[in-house]
Amino acid sequence: MTDYAFYLLLGTGAGAVIAILGLGLVLTYRGSGVVNFAHGAVATWTAYVFVDLRLNGDYALPFPGLPDRLHTGGAMAFVPALAVALATSAALGFLTYILVFRPLRTAPALAKVVASVGVLIAIIAMVQERFAATTVSVAKILPSEPIVFAQDLTVPRDGLWLAAIAVVLAAVLWAVYRFTRFGLATRAAAEDEQGAITLGFSPDALAAVNWTVAALLAGLIGILASPLTQLTPLLFTTLFLIPALGAALIGRFTSFGVTCAAGLAIGMIQSSFLQVQVDVSWWPQIGAREGLPFIAIVIALVILGKRLPTRGSLEFARLPRAPLPHPSVVKVLLPYLAIIGLFFVLPGGWRIALLTSLIAAVLALSLVVLTGFVGQISLAQMAFAGVAGFALSRFASQWGVPFPIAPILAALVATVFGVAVGLPALRVRGINLAIVTLAGGVAIQEFVFKNPDYTGSISSGGAKIPNPELFGIDFGLTAKHDLFRPAFGVLVVTVLMLSTLVVMNLRRGTLGRRMLAVRANERAAAAAGINVATTKLIAFAISAFIAGIGGTLIGYRFGSISDASYGIFASLTVLAFAYIGGITSIGGAFLAGLVTGGGFFFYGLQQLQGQSGTGEGNIQLFIGGVALIITAALNPEGMAGALRDRRARAKARPEKPASPAAGAPASTLEPAP
Amino acid sequence: MTPLLECRELSVDYGGVRAVDHASLAVEPGQIVGLIGPNGAGKTTFVDAISGFVTTSTGSLVFDGHDLADRKPHQRARLGLVRTFQSLELFDDLSVRDNLFAASERPPWWRLAGELFWPRLGRTDASAVDDALEALDIVDLGDRSPDEISQGQRKLVGVARAIAARPKLLLLDEPASGLDTDESAHLGTRLRGLLDRGITILLVDHDMGLVLDVCHHIFVLDFGRILAAGPPEAIRTDRSVIEAYLGERMNNPDTPPNEQGDGPADKGDEPGDKGGS
């Protein structure tokens, strides 16, 4: 039993990180109705800034174009470094609210989720840009000499310190919200913004303060926790943000006490799994730790019904229009043949960029079906792609299943995962669904992709995938001396064209009408005899299938894959670029592919500027993140919508009459029983 | 004759509030049956209960020989029990015709799947949609988008969409709200025309004019209870009904003055603002 006591006590440190991040999520949500997916990234940035100050006395600037670092000359002392780092995190929180979420106050839930993903991408891109080369060995901050509980029960002290800090913070926040005028005002504004305004409070100012405090807490825990573990760019996002979301959900994004307790509990239980693994033979060796928060989230959301409390603010905007495509032989065949032609005439680097764009377009198409047509959000598309990629490796290289059958079977495996992650969508929507799919994506990543049983060990070069061959023709990208074979381009563009035709048929047919009906109004759709649950699941299935096809293309392109090929961060960038392109239209998916990181557009830009180097990928990501925020705020129909509007204005359409009831948001409707 | 729809002792509770209280009602086939009541009487809740959008705490529902307990809204719609909504709940991203198609199409699963690869497989019979557009006299709106047409036209499209779903019983929740007097009279004519198409109607409204004009049989709901039932002539003169409506004015000019003599038509309430949407 002392083994378990040891691991439970050891887990208090991780639990405290989860708890304090969870407190910040609750603060942000109560203050502004935003679930901040970038919360962990703020902790990461602050931790790196602190470390850099302490070790080198350098202050990294968070925007590209500025000088990389301000030099203060020599390592900085503890207290000033702490003050500067915390001020940085507070400023990040304040600016994020003022620049991003205040303009999005009345935007639909999807736009807010997307914008917060944009902030996350931008911050992580800058972390990778500024600190990728920084080796991080962080000196202990909290006292860490072991504490002896019993003869054979000795635990390092710092985790317990962190837990104590978490409890104190939760108590302080509780007291502030309970007893001060500020807390009262925030609670009032969360219930009813209009009411709070009439009482003389400014919801904007309240939100800004809450954001600042939340970011300050994130920065603090980032600094305090980094000595306990190895600091990596996505540490606080993958390892701690998901369980923190789970803890905040258990606290209904309202209760500081419950959130703190749940966070500590999740961390301690995760830690105890290390011992369970030893004691229980069938316990999974890999992934149980990350699976726990996913299960906690699903239980909290779906079974206990602990959804985010709805906020008393008005959301006017609806999802952008999903235009009816008018396919014709010319419109489909001409670009198809033109792109094939490009593969034969372009030099190698351009071919790779074009491939990246085409594969990204396939992935974006998968989101057009799910988000564009049915209004469901998924932050796990790349996880579905990865499932198909690893399944393909198994089918093709181990079992010898031939080419067109193996990738189709692999995509069907992804479909099964898609439906499983989509099941909670029958009960939850909007932000809640974003949380479930994000947690599901991370669970798949940790449980499946990091398990050598499924994916082959990294030492043997990951999971191998043979070149696709059909009728004796090799459609692979590389063969012997040829690194950029056009045959693979032909294959990819053919797959993209077929996927596009399927999605066009879908939009024009019965299923498409049903999906748009469900997106517009679930109650009315049910009243018209449409099975809302089935329609959503079909959308998840088709979307995961297309994402899976995209995943097999990624696999064929690289020839061997590892868990890094399909990380959760890639899922977020897929959503980002799909949204920028225009997530409700097929043309938008193509534009998404064009502007995707490493794709045709950025490669062309680099060629024009004659740049080369390692940093571009991160700058492109940063630009992508910022573009995503701007798209969410100003132009929810994306680039495709902007082009459409321009054409439409040229045609001068008749004026639309204002319909007074059209503002009723579908998102406030309760699900049909 | 067996009723098409029979509700027995139906109750609906919202928290501690009983919105519908042991209400019983039967709809005979081939009739237009009215359900009226003052604001807050529980009319919409009653419609929600019949169409499966709220759970009932007591009572039973039998439609066309099927027990409706445990049937979800879309299953009830597929049995032929189709409702409209008081507020404008059209599918804004679909054209008017596609709104109707979404309700009328019931292809087998293999056609749904096949259509993704071969669109011709999905070509469904348009007759139900054309019929519905004709029945409401809105054929010319077919290719418009719902946000380009007037409030009254949207209302008609809502009814047409329900008809396109081939209902046996059409549940109309305040179809006249938001319509002006002419439009309301026009709607009445259209509804009577639906009877010839074999559609039975349960009309829920507080526009007494429309209801008294077109219904064969009327139920009066107040505080969640059925207060009175009978043919329009009887309802017109029923004391308890008049009392329930005291304070509210009878909206119809040809409603006889009630016996208390305090019911002259109140001109302040134009038809346009009686909608609850």
Q: What percent of chain B has pLDDT over 90?
A: 27
Q: DSSP readout, A86-132?
A: HHHHHHHHHHIIIIIISTTTTS-HHHHHHHHHHHHHHHHHHHHHHHT
Rounded to a whole number of angstroms, the distance from the CA of B243 to the nearest CA of chain A is: 33
- Cα dihedral angle (A519, A420, A438, A174), rounded to 10 degrees? 90
Q: CA-to-CA distance for A654 and A656, rounded, in angstroms? A: 6
Verify that A223 and A337 share a domain, yes or no: no
Higher pLDDT, A136 or A311: A136
* A275 has a pLDDT exceeding 90: no
Nearest alpha carbon to residue A21 among A258, A245, A209:
A245
Please compute the mean of the pLDDT values over residues A543-572 and round it to a whole number.
Answer: 86
Q: Are strands A463-464 and A560-561 parallel, antiparallel or unpaired?
A: antiparallel
Q: Backbone dihedral region of A598: left (phi > 0), alpha (psi from -120 to 50 degrees) or beta?
A: left
Separation CA A256–CA A129 (nearest Å): 35
Instruction: Evaluate if residue B86 carries a pLDDT over 50.
Output: yes
d(CA A54, CA A71): 12
Q: Do B122 and A530 touch (CB under 8 A)?
A: no
pLDDT at res. A125: 87
What pLDDT is recorded for position A167?
92
Q: What amino acid occupies position B66?
A: H
pLDDT of residue A305: 66
The pLDDT of A56-71, averaged and rounded, is: 82
Dihedral (C-alpha) B254, B260, B266, B270: value to the nearest 10 degrees? -60
pLDDT of residue A133: 62
Q: Rounded to an integer, what distance in angstroms lies between the CA atom of residue B180 and that of residue B152?
A: 8
pLDDT of A18 higher than 70: yes
**Quick one: which of A215, A220, A68, A47 has its CA closest to A60?**
A68
Give first-to-last CA distance, chain A, whole Å: 46
Do B102 and A525 lie within an 8 Å CB cutoff? Answer: yes
More confident residue, A33 or B67: B67
Spatial distance between the Cα atoms of A537 and A369, rounded to a whole number of angstroms: 12
| DSSP assignment letter at B18 | E
Is B52–A505 a contact, with Cβ atoms under 8 angstroms apart?
no
Measure the CA–CA gap between A449 and A566, rounded to whole angstroms: 8
| Single-letter code of the amino acid located at A396 | A
The mean per-residue pLDDT over the stretch A325-347 comes to: 85
pLDDT of residue A54 exceeding 70: yes
Task: Say yes or no to pLDDT of B277 above 50.
Answer: no
DSSP label at residue A448: I
**Residue A219: pLDDT above 90?**
yes
Instruction: For an interface test with A, give the residue of B48, B92, B96, B97 to mutate (most A CBs within 10 A).
Output: B92
Q: Please list the residues that pair with A469 across neighbouring strands.
A: A474
Q: Is B130 left (phi over 0), alpha (psi -120 to 50) or beta?
A: alpha
Strands A560-561 and B5-14: unpaired
Count residue pairs from A and B with Cβ separation < 8 A: 130
In a domain, A621, yes or no: no
Please check whether residues A337 and A481 belong to one and the same domain.
yes
- Measured CA to CA, the distance from residue B106 to residue B19 in angstroms comes to 34
Poorest-pLDDT segment among A300-309, B53-62, B160-169:
A300-309
For residues A527 and B44, what is the distance between their CA atoms, to the nearest angstrom? 14
Q: Domain containing A405: what range?
A: 331-567
Q: Predicted confidence band at A311 (pLDDT cuts at 50, 70, 90)?
A: low
Alpha-carbon distance of A264 to B120, in angstroms, equals 58
**Of A511, A516, A664, which is closest to B91 when you measure between CB atoms?**
A516
- Contact: B116, A673; criterion CB under 8 Å: no
pLDDT digit string, tens, across residues A82-120 = 999 999 999 999 999 999 998 888 777 778 888 888 999
How many Å apart are CA B222 and CA B199, to the nearest integer? 27
Q: What is the pLDDT of residue A414?
A: 93
Domain count, chain A: 2
Q: Are strands B32-36 and B217-222 parallel, antiparallel or unpaired?
A: parallel
Please check the confidence at residue B271 and state whether its pLDDT lies above 60. Answer: no
Q: Considering only CB atoms, which chain B residues are within 8 Å of A510?
A: 101, 105, 107, 111-112, 115, 122, 124
pLDDT tier, A537 (very low <50, low <70, confident <90, very high otherwise): very high
Residue A313: is its pLDDT beyond 80? Answer: no
The answer to the question of residue A312 being in a domain is no
Q: Which two three-digit tokens encode residue A653?
A: 């359409």
User: Is A493 part of a structural domain of the chain?
Assistant: yes
Please give the Cα distance from A83 to A89 (Å, whole number): 10
The amino acid sitting at B270 is E
- Mean pLDDT computed over every residue of chain A: 82
Which member of B87, B94, B147 has the closest CB to residue A516? B94
Q: What is the pLDDT of residues A346-405, one digit of tens each?
A: 888 888 889 989 999 999 999 999 988 988 888 889 999 999 999 998 888 878 888 888
Range name among A404-418, A463-477, B206-220 with the lowest pLDDT average: A463-477
Q: Nearest residue of A to residue B79 by CA position?
A: A529
Residue-wise pLDDT for A477-525, tens only, equals: 777 777 778 888 889 999 999 999 999 999 888 899 999 998 888 888 9
Check A510 against B151: CB less than 8 A apart: no
Domain residue ranges in chain B: 55-84, 87-166
Does A519 fall in a domain? yes
To the nearest 10 degrees (0 to 180), the angle between helices A431-444 and A568-581 is 140
Tell which residue, B2, B3, B1, has the closest CA to residue B219: B3
ipTM of this predicted structure: 0.84
Mean pLDDT across A146-166? 79
Buried residues in A230-260 as b, exposed as e (16+ CB within 10 A): ebebbbbbbbbbbbbbbbbbbbbbbbbebbb
Put simply, the answer to whether B112 touches A321 (Cβ < 8 Å) is no
Over residues B119-146, the mean pLDDT reads: 85
- Whether B199 has a pLDDT exceeding 60, the answer reads yes
> Mean pLDDT over residues A154-164, rounded?
82
Distance CA A517, CA A511 (A): 10
Query: Nearest 5°: CA angle at A435, between A431 and A440?
Result: 145
Task: Report whether B137 contacts B190 (CB < 8 A).
Answer: yes
The pLDDT tens digits of the residues spanning A137-153 come to 677 777 777 777 777 77
Whether A578 maps to a domain, the answer reads no
Q: Which pLDDT value is given to residue A318?
A: 63
In this predicted model, which residue has the larger pLDDT, B133 or A137? B133
Contact B116 A511 (CB under 8 A): yes
Q: Measure A665 CA to nearest chain B CA, in Å.
A: 11
For residue A267, give both structure tokens. Answer: 């961390």
DSSP letters spanning B33-84: EEEE--TTSSHHHHHHHHHTSS--SEEEEEETTEE-TT--HHHHHHHTEEE-
Give the DSSP H/E element, type plus range, for residue A344: helix A329-345
pLDDT for residue A668 = 35
Beta-carbon contacts of residue B17 (< 8 Å; ≥ 6 apart): none
**B119 with A672: Cβ contact below 8 A:** no
Query: Nearest 5°: phi and psi at A150?
Result: -150, 180
Range of lowest pLDDT (A11-15, A380-384, A652-656, B253-257): B253-257
Predicted local confidence at residue B82, as pLDDT: 93
pLDDT at A135: 59
Q: Which of A537, A567, A597 is the last residue of a domain?
A: A567
Instruction: Find chain B residues with C-beta within 8 A of A657's C-beta.
Output: 148-150
Confidence of residue A671 (pLDDT cuts 50, 70, 90): very low
**pLDDT tens string B3-32:** 899 999 989 988 888 888 898 999 999 899
Contacts of A524 in chain B (CB under 8 A): 85, 89-91
Instruction: Indicate if the pLDDT at residue B99 is higher than 60.
Output: yes
In whole angstroms, give the CA distance from residue A245 to residue A19.
10
Q: Select from A552, A567, A582 the last residue of a domain.
A: A567
Whether the pLDDT of residue B96 is over 70: the answer is: yes
The pLDDT of A284-308, averaged and rounded, is: 75
Q: Which residue of B has its CA nearest to A523?
A: B53
| Cβ partners under 8 Å of residue A439, min gap 6 | A242, A245, A246, A293, A294, A297, A298
Residues A531 and A406 in one domain: yes
- For A658, the closest chain B residue by CA position comes to B147
pLDDT value for A625: 86
